[in-house]
């Protein structure tokens, strides 16, 4: 699979944690939501962008190649007109206009409708109560025999680098729309891996603070914040495992050749590992939270031990002074010149003995 690894390296993004610009200088006359509309024949991009109807007519007239149209947050009329042009199922078109809580893969005849959750890591210097770590978006992909239609939502759905990487490898692109779908899924999973690695740095930092000498420097809200963001990340990763498994085990589709299934099997394997990694992160955060609460409890118990010891020491002079403060007529040594100095000496000696005893027992 050297060619697949080469493609992966080409589209893998570094751990850049800034928003991706979704703008594109070439806009189709179809509407403002269309980023580009390109015809590919034998894996080679044909010169000049053109409207979707003209591009589809060229492909079907020649009987080879396919059209790849990219849209960003289209309105209902724009997507409906494309759906009518490409013969998309009405339910799939309506579905693509709505936000989805979970990724999925549905088959409508020979067409596949795929929803992928895109994620991005938000750079931050320090966690605060209002910090956001994971930013999610959505990418819907319609895949047919001679077309690919991508609909992106959010700041992390740009496929510009991926398109350039595929165009640099005509052999892979010549395998048709299914190869594009695989490359998109592979690209999304690679971003999952990058975000997972970045989140591990945050988890390691919180774990180090919890087990440092200054427990009070780490508040429980930091751990809860990481768990909340990790939960959002898991909602993008884990639900995709089952649809990919179904795609590989269901009855053969015309789009899914055995070669393409091999590529998807590799993506599914890496996605499973990332899902296991996120589960391990969640378990680790649970353990860190429990350790933090245990340490806080130990410190509180230690404080109570010290408070109790000092209260016992203070009780001695309080008791003696209380007895002498009753002003009885017959008090021991009340008329003796050294009576009060002796009482103070007895108090100091008793307090010193108690203090040394508490220190020896580790209570102070």
Class of domain 2-295: alpha beta
Local confidence pLDDT in tens for the 364 residues of the chain: 333 333 333 333 333 333 333 333 333 344 456 778 889 998 888 877 778 888 888 888 888 889 998 888 888 888 888 888 888 888 888 888 887 778 888 888 888 899 999 888 888 877 777 778 888 888 999 998 899 999 988 776 678 888 888 889 889 888 989 999 999 999 999 999 999 999 888 888 888 877 775 555 557 788 888 888 899 899 889 989 888 888 887 766 777 888 888 888 999 999 999 999 999 988 888 888 887 777 777 777 777 877 777 887 788 777 777 766 656 555 565 566 666 677 778 778 888 887 788 777 776 6
φ, ψ dihedrals at 324, nearest 5°: -70, -25
**Domain boundaries defined on the chain:** 2-295, 301-360
φ, ψ dihedrals at 107, nearest 5°: -105, 130
Q: Is 0.95 topped by the overall pTM?
A: no
H helix or E strand, kind and range, residue 330: none
pLDDT of residue 17: 35
pLDDT of residue 191: 92
Strand order across the beta sheet in which 34-41 lies:
44-45, 34-41, 66-72, 147-153, 134-143, 111-121, 104-108
Q: CB–CB of 27/156 below 8 Å?
A: no
Distance CA 316, CA 241 (A): 70
- Residue 2, CB half-sphere, CA atoms under 13 Å: how many? 0
pLDDT of residue 326: 58
Third-level CATH fold of 301-360: Methane Monooxygenase Hydroxylase; Chain G, domain 1 (1.20.58)
Strand blocks (E) in 196-278: none
């Amino acid at each position: 699979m050297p060619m697949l690894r080469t493609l992966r390296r080409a589209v893998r993004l570094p751990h850049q944690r800034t928003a991706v610009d979704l703008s594109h200088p070439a806009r189709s006359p179809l509407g403002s939501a269309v980023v580009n509309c390109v015809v590919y024949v034998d894996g080679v991009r044909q010169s000049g962008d053109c409207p979707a109807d003209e591009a589809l007519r060229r492909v079907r007239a020649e009987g080879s190649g396919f059209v790849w149209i990219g849209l960003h947050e289209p309105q209902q009329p724009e997507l409906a007109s494309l759906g009518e042009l490409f013969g998309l199922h009405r339910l799939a078109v309506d579905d693509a206009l709505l936000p989805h809580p979970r990724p999925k893969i549905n088959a409508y005849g020979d067409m596949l409708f795929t929803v992928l959750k895109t994620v991005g890591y938000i750079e931050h210097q320090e966690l605060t109560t209002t910090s956001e770590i994971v930013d999610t978006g959505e990418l819907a992909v319609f895949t047919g025999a001679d077309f690919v239609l991508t609909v992106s939502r959010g700041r992390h759905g740009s496929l510009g680098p991926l398109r350039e990487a595929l165009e640099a490898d005509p052999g892979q692109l010549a395998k048709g729309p299914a190869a594009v779908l695989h490359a998109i899924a592979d690209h999304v999973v690679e971003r999952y891996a990058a975000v997972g690695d970045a989140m591990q740095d945050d988890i390691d930092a919180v774990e180090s603070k919890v087990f440092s000498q200054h427990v009070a420097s780490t508040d429980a809200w930091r751990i809860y914040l990481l768990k909340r963001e990790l939960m959002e990340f898991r909602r993008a990763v884990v639900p995709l495992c089952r649809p990919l498994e179904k795609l590989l085990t269901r009855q053969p589709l015309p789009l899914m050749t055995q070669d393409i299934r091999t590529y998807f099997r590799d993506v599914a394997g890496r996605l499973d590992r990332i899902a296991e990694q996120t589960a391990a992160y969640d378990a680790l955060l649970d353990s860190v939270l429990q350790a933090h609460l245990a340490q806080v409890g130990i410190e509180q118990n230690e404080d109570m031990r010290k408070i109790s010891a000092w209260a016992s020491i203070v009780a001695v002079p309080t008791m003696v002074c209380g007895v002498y403060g009753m002003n009885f007529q017959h008090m021991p040594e009340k008329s003796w010149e050294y009576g009060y100095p002796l009482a103070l000496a007895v108090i100091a000696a008793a307090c010193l003995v108690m203090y040394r005893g508490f220190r020896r027992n580790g209570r102070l």
